[in-house]
Amino acid sequence: MHEPESTDDTYTDPTLVGNGVQPPTRTETDSLGSVEVPADAYWGVHTMRALENFPISKRPISVYPDLVVALASVKQAAARANREVGVLTDRKAALIDEACQRIIDGEHHEQFVVGVIQGGAGTSTNMNANEVIANLALEIAGFPKGRYDVLHPIDDVNRSQSTNDTYPTAVKLAMTFSLTSMMRELDLLRVSFGRKGQEFHEVLKVGRTQLQDAVPMTLGQEFHSFATTLGEDYERLNETIKLLSEVNLGATAIGTGITADPGYAAAAVRHLSAITGLRLESAPDLIEATSDTGVFMTFSSALKRSAIKLSKICNDLRLLSSGPQAGFGEINLPPRQAGSSIMPGKVNPVIPEAVSQVAYAVAGADVTVMMAAESGQLQLNAFEPVIAHSLLQSITWMRQACWTLRVNCVDGITANVDRLEAMVASSVGVITALIPFIGYTEASNIAKLALKTGRPVADLVVEAGLMSREAVMAQLQPSKLSGIRPITMAIPLIDLQGEPSE
């Protein structure tokens, strides 16, 4: 029989196996005393205490591979800089370097086990990284885990560093890595909408303002506008990468650089730029940079903007595809799954619905980031872990949302051409195009009569003797109604060449 999930939130010892028998352990010691840790774990005492203290999110930092790679990159740069300034031996630096490279290459990410939500401004994350790198380096050198007399997590791996400069630097790197990946998906989605704009560029439809019938346009223009707005968001997000490139590595505890060689900061940033391929620069005021989290608010705001605008597009897709019999029914979204357990044949717009929910979560995360940024005191913000988690989760979800919207929805959208043509033919909105020839008052009278009788506008105008049939039809051509011709100075069709932006 299925056991109900436990509601006990107390800490469960991760060293216990399924039968309750404790596997082999090793003893590690910190300033608080000794602790038993699993013998085969690359992490140690500091990580063990974090597991005991923060059983909150049930999500380890390894759920964000970009953060793990960023931490290893920072430690690798630090080792190279420490060797360069002469405070770390060549042998130790080489071992740390190799251990970091293995993590960068994707190995041992499962060893980054501390929870994403933690106290201590990221100290537990930093110590988890220090311990994993130290024990991996020891293994490479042929020593057992825990032989910190040979190579130490703090004295060697964390040399010339503090959590307060390594953690924020790693978070900025992780966000840059993740954002770059997300922006690729956003741009591919832009291209997908643009291609639909080209496909539908001659399909006339009724435009709407305030959910009421307005003047005609083409379905292609509507989808073109979706592509344009996504392109604008791409540019705004791209601007934030520059802001994330300013780091405080070398600031150590509060920005004074205490315990670090005077040449360390510049060397560490230079090595980190080479490792990551990013153009990083040291903040001009390391004390300010260590306490300030304004860049995260700026980044979060840009991400929220993109998410909300994407949700607006999804709402439009839901409206345009509504029905299909009793709604707008202008377009067809690809059927992805049965929509009801009781109504046969019902298919729901599940992909746009999912994307909108991601947008709501991103908007909520933006509030979290704002509150955490405001709550920092004096020389450090203790709440950067929740900032990091909120933003990395938002980026991850946005990337996947853009992917599923493109692959499972937009690429397969089709137009209900016959229905669109019928709605345009019966729309009184076309009378707007005749105002320059018959005047607003006469146009208004014709519109009221068309609504009352259901007869076509063109017939009523001709019968009233206001224009000839030929003159009316010349002005009601689809190209003129939609502004494709430059008569209304409409925007040109998007030129994609089928390729996303670089």
C-beta atoms surrounding 338 within 10 Å: 12
pLDDT in tens, 179-233: 999 999 999 999 999 999 999 998 999 889 898 888 889 999 999 999 999 999 9
Active site residues: 340
349/405 Cα distance (integer angstroms): 11
Q: For the residues of 196-238, what is the DSSP string, one character each?
A: HHHHTTT-EEEEEETTEEEEEEEHHHHHHHHHHHHHHHHHHHH
| Entry pTM | 0.86
Span 454-474, mean pLDDT? Answer: 86
Question: Cα(first)–Cα(last) distance of the chain, in Å?
Answer: 55
Token pair of 167 as six digits: 């953690």
pLDDT in tens, 378-416: 999 999 999 999 999 999 999 999 999 999 999 999 999
Do 268 and 250 touch, CB atoms closer than 8 A? yes
Q: For the residues of 404-451, what is the DSSP string, one character each?
A: HHHHHTGGG-EE-HHHHHHHHHT-GGGGGGGHHHH-HHHHHHHHHHHH
pLDDT in tens, 114-136: 999 999 999 999 999 999 999 99
471/336 Cα distance (integer angstroms): 47
pLDDT in tens, 11-56: 444 545 456 677 899 999 999 999 999 999 999 999 999 999 999 9
pLDDT at 493 over 60: no
Please tell me the predicted confidence (pLDDT) of residue 384. 95
Do 469 and 458 touch, CB atoms closer than 8 A? yes
266/54 Cα distance (integer angstroms): 35
Please tell me the predicted confidence (pLDDT) of residue 219. 94
pLDDT at 371 over 80: yes
β-bridge mates for residue 206, sequence order? 216
Angle CA(125)–CA(130)–CA(135) in degrees, nearest 5? 130
163 compared with 451, residue with greater pLDDT: 163
Average pLDDT taken over every residue of the chain: 89
Please tell me the predicted confidence (pLDDT) of residue 450. 86
- Which domains does the chain show, CATH number per domain? 29-159 (1.10.275.10), 165-249+279-416 (1.20.200.10), 428-482 (1.10.40.30)
pLDDT in tens, 407-448: 999 999 999 999 998 888 777 777 888 888 888 998 888 888
Span 161-187, mean pLDDT? Answer: 96
Please tell me the predicted confidence (pLDDT) of residue 19. 60
pLDDT at 9 over 60: no
Token pair of 21 as six digits: 């028998």
The dihedral region occupied by 162, where left means phi > 0, alpha psi between -120 and 50, and beta the remainder, is beta
Please tell me the predicted confidence (pLDDT) of residue 494. 47
Spell out the residues 6+ positions from residue 161 whose beta carbon is closer than 8 angstroms to its own.
Answer: 78, 126, 252, 260
Do 461 and 446 touch, CB atoms closer than 8 A? yes
Please tell me the predicted confidence (pLDDT) of residue 484. 55
